[in-house]
Structure 1
């Protein structure tokens, strides 16, 4: 809790725009809360590898700014009405202000990396943002289509995994480790597990837990792992008559009854297990491993 409070305060402190509307959008987004899993992972990787990791705090703030910018832009693209249990920023401030506010978050993140990081840190986070942006376009182009597992993983590895890669890679880099590219690679698996759990919760969670409507993916025509994992048991024409079309509740219930949620959670556990096995060779990895285990146990 202390770590979260400190992160939230740093995010407000570093925001520091000159235009009040940018501040209003930023404060509204920050004060909505969040798990802050990406900056926490960055700081914990650094702490595992090195003492005196205060220098990584501004970079941890920067990675969360990038995440928040992507959420702001996603909500505009999706026409979202809620985020974390309250009206989405685009509903309050309008699409134009929110897109430009997201741009400010991106710019501020790069400024933090230029001032407090180094050229390699800038390269790692820029690589992640490029990967993330391209995968979000891939997802947009996949709406209404039934995907293969390979296509789905390609999307989530960029959409979610890339920023986890940067979080762990930059944490290792700032911790003085020459293994920062290995941490970048295993971060992809952490992000994959995180997104798998998100996708499972969209089928089995509740609006009170998630702070947003349940079943959105099916309603929007997004094909995720719960559906992919049981497609061999379903008639494709029956699915397509319901997928992304009006009342998708019957399809959601069928996927759940066939074990789609359990399949997805098990796949997430396999991804995290690989990461934990890698980290066990490092001293002082207990806290980091505990955080990673919580990724696949969460219910929101």
Structure 2
């Protein structure tokens, strides 16, 4: 069954459209500060998964006026955009969402400040709800994202474990999903806050692992960024570690000497693809993410039936089936 986001977002269509407008406005405000041509910049509007999860979770706990949470959803998308901007500086990325990354349009210094600006605007929006715990949770989320990157920044692939990959995915990606899912329940003082947090955490880890897999299996034009960029940037992701653990000693030596952290030519790409297929890396990763998806859905099944819950379940399926 082919899932598309427009159908999944149907119950929150008006609210998610407002989020998209608000995000674009803040994005343009940031670009205006440094006189960037909007047509050259990466697009602000992505899939809007985090605000969608936030809005659908609000509906799933019985919130009647979903538009009340437009600012909340916008804040989570801005935090996500800020993390992408900072990531592009760290990774020296040149493409983002099919356009030039901000650090190629600006210098790195301005791009980092741009990311900081987005964080500030997000916190400002959270203040609308006059909920101290909400703001503390968001700040802790940003801290965890940074801690995850810092903790594993210099760890070599030889010393990486599957548990390390899971913890990194949880900190850098899943915490934002978890906070987006549980924050409406926090504001409403709903007893299902922890249930929604666990849902967001599990589907967020699955999202990151699929992202990591697509880096090895999807075309650049569909990805919106160069294929094999994780390998070129010497990142240890779960699919890369899974491949590493299955390589022979001779293959590992070749991988370290000519591929990992290097600019990869056509011959090396073919070698990679052959071994990804031979060692069934995609199959292993899809089994792993399927378990995470089912755990996330199990949490959602504790909620009362509603169109919002149905869309959250469909979103779980979409996240593990997506192509970019």
Scaled by the length of structure 1, what TM-score is found? 0.91
Question: What CA deviation, in whole Å up to 9, does each residue of 1:218-274 have, x standing for no partner?
Answer: 112112222333444312452243222343522343123211112112211110111
Contact 1:157-1:191 at 8 Å conserved across structures = yes
Are 2:291 and 1:270 aligned? yes
Q: State the match for 1:299 in structure 2.
A: 323
Deviation (angstroms), 1:209: 0.8
C-alpha RMSD over aligned residues: 2.4
Contact 1:62-1:108 at 8 Å conserved across structures = yes
Please, which of 56, 69, 73 is the counterpart of residue 60 of structure 1? 73
Q: State the match for 2:46 in structure 1.
A: 34
Looking at structure 1, the residues matched to 28 and 240 of structure 2 have their Cα atoms a distance apart, in angstroms, of 43
Q: State the match for 1:20 in structure 2.
A: 32
Please, which of 251, 261, 281 is the counterpart of residue 244 of structure 1? 261
Are 2:100 and 1:87 aligned? yes
Q: Unaligned regions of 5+ residues in structure 1, if any? A: none
Looking at structure 2, the residues matched to 214 and 109 of structure 1 have their Cα atoms a distance apart, in angstroms, of 31
Alignment length (residue pairs): 300
Deviation (angstroms), 1:26: 8.9
Q: What is the SS of the residue equivalent to 2:292?
A: helix
Q: 1:25 to 1:43 in 2, by over 3 A?
A: farther
Looking at structure 2, the residues matched to 183 and 154 of structure 1 have their Cα atoms a distance apart, in angstroms, of 19
Contact 1:46-1:172 at 8 Å conserved across structures = yes
Scaled by the length of structure 2, what TM-score is found? 0.84
Deviation (angstroms), 1:101: 0.9
Are 2:84 and 1:71 aligned? yes
Deviation (angstroms), 1:18: 8.8
Deviation (angstroms), 1:280: 1.7
Deviation (angstroms), 1:215: 0.7
Please, which of 173, 192, 209 is the counterpart of residue 179 of structure 1? 192
Looking at structure 2, the residues matched to 27 and 108 of structure 1 have their Cα atoms a distance apart, in angstroms, of 23
Contact 2:195-2:300 at 8 Å conserved across structures = no
Looking at structure 1, the residues matched to 234 and 168 of structure 2 have their Cα atoms a distance apart, in angstroms, of 15
Q: Unaligned regions of 5+ residues in structure 2, if any? A: 1-5, 7-12
Q: 1:233 to 1:12 in 2, by over 3 A?
A: closer
Please, which of 216, 220, 232 is the counterpart of residue 233 of structure 2? 220
Q: 1:32 to 1:277 in 2, by over 3 A?
A: same
